[in-house]
């Protein structure tokens, strides 16, 4: 589910950047890469694959389980944030 949240974040971020400009991106590293969609997609995919590999390799570890839950919560909140913003944009357009 976290991977889906991450992909949703990428899609919405690209849509918002296309509409409002780079200033909408809050992540400073992503902001540097976002001008080239290929770079930001590769950057996000690299981190998602790395995350999945690390969690899978350490799936029985307590730290990995806690980390997985924390990442899930962060991306869940971020997804809600994006959904609310998209709704506000839709209502106000």
Q: State the burial class of residue 70 (Cβ atoms within 10 Å of its Cβ: 0-12, 13-18, 19+).
A: exposed
Taking the model in full, what pTM does it have? 0.75
Per residue in 22-32, pLDDT (tens digit) is 888 888 888 88
Per residue in 69-84, pLDDT (tens digit) is 998 898 889 889 888 9
Q: What is the mean pLDDT of the chain?
A: 87
Can you give the residue ranges of every domain in the chain? 2-92
DSSP collapsed to 3 states, 38-65: HHHHHHHHHHHHHHHHHHHHCCCCHHHH
Average of pLDDT values for 12-31?
A: 86
Rounded distance between C-alpha atoms, residue 85 and residue 41, angstroms: 22
């Amino acid at each position: 589910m976290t991977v889906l949240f991450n992909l949703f974040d990428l899609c919405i971020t690209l849509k918002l950047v296309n509409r409002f400009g780079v200033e909408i991106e809050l992540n400073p590293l992503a902001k540097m890469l976002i001008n080239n969609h290929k770079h930001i997609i590769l950057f996000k995919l690299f981190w998602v694959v790395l995350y999945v590999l690390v969690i899978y390799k350490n799936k029985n570890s307590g730290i990995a389980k806690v980390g997985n839950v924390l990442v899930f919560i962060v991306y869940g909140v971020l997804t809600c944030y994006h959904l609310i913003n998209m709704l506000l944009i839709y209502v106000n357009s």
